[in-house]
Structure 1
Amino acid sequence: MNINKNSLPEDGLPIVEVSNVRKSYVPGSLEIPVLSGIDPKIGRREFLATMGPSGSGKSTFMNLIGWLYRPTEGQVLVRERDLNKMSDEELVRVKGLEIGFVFQTFNLVSRLTAFENVLLPTFANSRIIIDSRKRTKELLEIMGLYDRMHHKPGELSGGESQRVSSARTLINDPAILLADEPTGNLDSRTGADILCIFMDLNMEGRTIVIVTHDPEIAKYAYRVILVKDGIIQYN
């Protein structure tokens, strides 16, 4: 396993910079620390796997770099933009265009077709230069689902649903793709197919960050970091 703090892609430029970040939750009067003073950098065009046992803080780490959470302390920069200096409105706009999420549970809207699910994010955010409906068809074709675009999630297999979820993530052409246990609900063959899609996306220039507890999944990444007890550990 390659666990290396300073290993970045060839241009050496980080797309994500985390500086002395701490994250705690405060249910009632009790403060529960989750991450303690972490400071990793993620390079442009990097394929990174984040590993750790349940409750280690690895998903919280992904949610921080995906701007789903604000840090309790410290700084998170994505493309040199400071999360803490943005309004909620700015955050929604930038996050919707720069960062895409793929979830273990797919998070598809059951009453919508595959085509409508992929198109859905463009109603809140979209790039003017992209023909969203044309791009939706292109993405479904890339995912091998062109003939399934009018099917609803209940009519799709788990692998097909994850491909729809991945296509939806890509509709606004994000620079960063975050995936939390994306193969957790899939059989091993279908999971490998999804990971090969992520590898292809990485070769096209996207930064990929996968959260996993499975060392076999982590082998697809070029770099692995380990989160344990709220601290990122390096060799």
Structure 2
Amino acid sequence: MDALASDLKRLQQELDEDSAKAAKIAKDAANKALSERFGSLRYIVDEHHWDEDMVISKILVDRKEEMLALAQKTFNSEVLLEEDGAEEYKIHLDEGRIEVDGEGVETSIGEFFDSDDYHDLNEAKLAKLEKLDWFIIWSRTEAGEFKTEGGQHDGNYSSNELNMENCLLTYRGLPLVIPSNGTDIFSNELEIHFVDETRASIEMCDV
């Protein structure tokens, strides 16, 4: 994978350097072909709709397909969890609510998810990954009732003791991540990210 990714990075750099020149050659050739077929200046390529990104590297596309095929063959859930550099990262999303003894309480958790810290931490993790030549993200969304470790808390519930640390809601310093009655899996996606800032889904039977 690293060898293919290194080749992909080189090809992307070459495309970045050559894209403007290649796009001009393609546009000039298109205008010449139109002129020869329909007469001078009857039809031309519209400058407002022309985009240099229309010119791509076929070799680069082929290398990405090789990487995708190798990833689908190589990476199963066991390999992903044991791979060097693999990092498990949990976050809470903002669709939930807080219940105490089975009853909902009037505690707004929206402010935790609107905070700069929540967004900055997620963006920082992605920025770190984007420095790599390639990476795989396995994201799974689970819904359920969650509690902290250690069973019941002594004393009455206090909203002042509800906080967020490292993108997880915590109560009295402990994250609410222990399922009370199992969870439902709402999404389970695996994607490989390439050095040219594109990505592709990976299908794996055991994920």
> TM > 0.5 between the two?
no
TM-score by length of 2: 0.24
Give the structure, 1 or 2, with the largest relative contact order (CA under 8 Å, sep 6 or more): 1
